[in-house]
Structure 1
Amino acid sequence: MENDFLSPLDCVVVGGGAAGLTAAIYLNRFCRTVLVIDSGCSRLSLIPSTQNYPGFPSGVNGQELLKRLHLQAGRFGASIRNGVVSEISKGKTQPFEIRSDSVSYFAKTVILATGSTDVVPQIEGHEKALKNAFLRYCPICDGFEAIGKKVAVLGAGRHGVNEAIFIHHYAKDLTYINFPDGVAAENMELLAERDIKIFDGSPNSLVFAEYGVSGVFGDGSQASFDVLYSALGLNPNNEMARLLKLHLDVDGQVKVDDHMQSSLEGFFAIGDVAHGLNQISVATGHAAIAATAVHNLLCGRK
């Protein structure tokens, strides 16, 4: 496969999720030459139904939303290619070189929209459970759906405890399953204050059943739940940012300025890989800001 872009593009967008496709829509409407390189691994495709994305009063399936974004980007002439970016480099006076599947593309700017990857609980049947909404990852997205249900949170450390406290706002019948180590005394107090039940230590087994999840714990007790929230963490897909030695926050997300530009001029980061709240609406907002900044930056170049 040869690179049919003979001169540097205005922008290469790395990632074809909600953030990347929205950036492509804006940039093509700015009459910019743009290529989106999509690995096809957007977390959005795993969402059975998102209920808090504006404009869809009955909710929208993640794959359906991706399909609509693809169609909208295509309407304005977006070039979208399947592939995995293996390297990005830049000389002092040269454009960015983006290497994907043995092909090099050159661009004046780059928008990184590679998202993040959930730490998946090692429970048999988790993929089916995710589709059936027995397994959830985002209490901000769908904590509302936990109202009136028997809920468990599988977590570790203060992050897991904080997520349990967040969900307790919705689900009063709540159990925190600490994994893999013991709950610190101060965290135990925080949970006890809210009458959150605790299974401390790794469960002997967790099984996704036809209508929820059931577990057997170290003391021999058993319990079943309508929904299990996994609070094991999220890993930003920041390999390219690390390669370029961009500034990252403590969680590994790319630090950006008010225009979504990273510590390297002309290199922007948006969506879950960037510092901020991991939400679809935030990702599309990031994209609008970054795409406009790219356009303005290029307008100032001779």
Structure 2
Amino acid sequence: MKKVDCIIIGGGIAGLQAAIQLGRYNHNIAVIDAQKGRSLIAKDYQNILGWPEGVSGKRLRSLGRQHAEKFGVEFFDGTVTSLEKKEDLFIMCTDDDIHYEAKTIFLGTGVTDNIPAIRNLYPTLGISTYICPDCDGYEIKHKQTVVIVGGNTGANMALTLLYWSKAIIYVNHSKTKINETFRKKLEENQIPVFEEEVEEVKVDESQNLQAIQLVNGKRIEAEKAFVAFKGNKINNALAKQLGVDVNETNHIHVNPRTKETNIPGVWAGGDLAAHSEQVTISMGDGTQAAIWIHKRLMGELPPD
């Protein structure tokens, strides 16, 4: 059994930032990563301080891992299948039957996006197809953009994106009912609505979106696209095994000052804990949690 001061479950942005900070405290830290984080599919973050030309999630994670390893942090690929607390220690096992014992835990297991299996869609993610208007609304400025979603969620997305472009087309891919209030708003804002599934995304040699083709054969020209479907999975199963509190949206409830959960010795951050789903906020969560993990390892009691 491997014994460490803190195990970070999830090697995404929050987990990596926590690992860097804790490594700099000279603690014995292990990161267990399933290599399935949403940042791996983000091809180009354009809203991060220090990266004016943008940076891919893959590169950011690679650099983060190198940074943490410089301070002695160890990384292990795998999925944690069980996690329990025994007295003041945490015991966990991975899918390859490796056991770990830790004094503290940081959960950075994040969110898995519900992205439809549309041909050629994945290669365009973060390049010309986006998920978060707050992150990437700027990228569609004055460009013809197709919103591939469903029901009222898609209608709301299409209306939100009018801030950036008036050339918005809404494809109700899931054919979910759109209520009359949203239909009226779409009509008032001259947003065309297509009640049909998308069969394929047409791309150029650089994986930039050129058009989408519906299953009925209709081709819709567009430079950009947004997708946002209900059913994103918040990866909170391990937290629930420990009895960690979750809120009404199934995100982990944490102390806003320390990022510690209701279970002493367990911290959480990033998309697992915050619904804002921003890389920079995940970084802050990781650093803030690491500071308080260090205090606990040094024997300080949690704040009131």
Q: Secondary structure at the residue paired with 2:116?
A: coil
The correspondence of residues 154-193 of structure 1 with structure 2, limited to 5 A, is: 154-178=148-172, 179-193=174-188
Normalised TM-score (structure 1): 0.89
Deviation at 1:110, TM superposition (A): 0.6
Residues 45-77 of structure 1, C-alpha deviations (whole Å, 9 max, x = no match): 222211101101111122211121111111111
Q: Secondary structure at the residue paired with 1:162?
A: helix
Counterpart for residue 276 of structure 2: 277
Q: Is the 8 A contact 1:174 1:197 kept in 2?
A: yes
Counterpart for residue 196 of structure 2: 202
The correspondence of residues 38-187 of structure 1 with structure 2, limited to 5 A, is: 38-91=33-86, 93-100=87-94, 101-130=96-125, 133-178=127-172, 179-187=174-182
Deviation at 1:282, TM superposition (A): 0.7
Distance 1:106 1:170, change over 3 A: same
Q: Is the 8 A contact 1:134 1:212 kept in 2?
A: no
User: In terms of mean alpha carbon deviation, does 281-290 or 183-192 score higher?
Assistant: 183-192
Residues 212-254 of structure 1, C-alpha deviations (whole Å, 9 max, x = no match): 2323377x86522222211114222222123233222233221
Tell me, yes or no, if structure 1 residue 241 matches structure 2 residue 239: yes
Counterpart for residue 14 of structure 1: 9
User: In terms of mean alpha carbon deviation, does 168-177 or 238-247 score higher?
Assistant: 238-247
Q: Is the 8 A contact 1:214 1:222 kept in 2?
A: yes
Identity percentage of aligned residues: 29
Deviation at 1:170, TM superposition (A): 0.7
Counterpart for residue 254 of structure 1: 252
Q: Is the 8 A contact 2:6 2:29 kept in 1?
A: yes
Q: Is the 8 A contact 1:117 1:236 kept in 2?
A: yes
Task: Please give the alpha-carbon distance, in whole angstroms, between the structure 1 residues aligned to 2:251 and 2:178.
Answer: 27
The residue type paired with residue 55 of structure 1 is G
Give unmatched runs, 5+ long, in structure 1.
Answer: none
Deviation at 1:301, TM superposition (A): 5.5
The residue type paired with residue 51 of structure 2 is F
2:225 to 213, 218, 228: 228
Q: Is the 8 A contact 1:14 1:36 kept in 2?
A: yes
Tell me, yes or no, if structure 1 residue 289 matches structure 2 residue 285: no
Deviation at 1:185, TM superposition (A): 0.9
Q: Is the 8 A contact 2:234 2:251 kept in 1?
A: yes
Residues 106-152 of structure 1, C-alpha deviations (whole Å, 9 max, x = no match): 11111011121111122112222326x23222222211110121101
The residue type paired with residue 279 of structure 1 is Q
Task: Please give the alpha-carbon distance, in whole angstroms, between the structure 1 residues aligned to 2:245 and 2:227.
Answer: 28
The residue type paired with residue 226 of structure 2 is Y
Task: Please give the alpha-carbon distance, in whole angstroms, between the structure 2 residues aligned to 1:126 and 1:64.
Answer: 21
Structure 1 segments of 4+ aligned residues over 6 angstroms from their partners: none
Task: Please give the alpha-carbon distance, in whole angstroms, between the structure 2 residues aligned to 1:81 and 1:146.
Answer: 38
**How many residue pairs are counted as aligned between the two chains?**
293
The correspondence of residues 30-41 of structure 1 with structure 2, limited to 5 A, is: 30-41=25-36
Deviation at 1:203, TM superposition (A): 2.6
Q: Is the 8 A contact 1:123 1:208 kept in 2?
A: no
The correspondence of residues 261-272 of structure 1 with structure 2, limited to 5 A, is: 261-272=260-271
Residues 192-218 of structure 1, C-alpha deviations (whole Å, 9 max, x = no match): 34332222x333644334342323377
Normalised TM-score (structure 2): 0.89
The residue type paired with residue 287 of structure 1 is G
Task: Please give the alpha-carbon distance, in whole angstroms, between the structure 2 residues aligned to 1:10 and 1:150.
Answer: 51
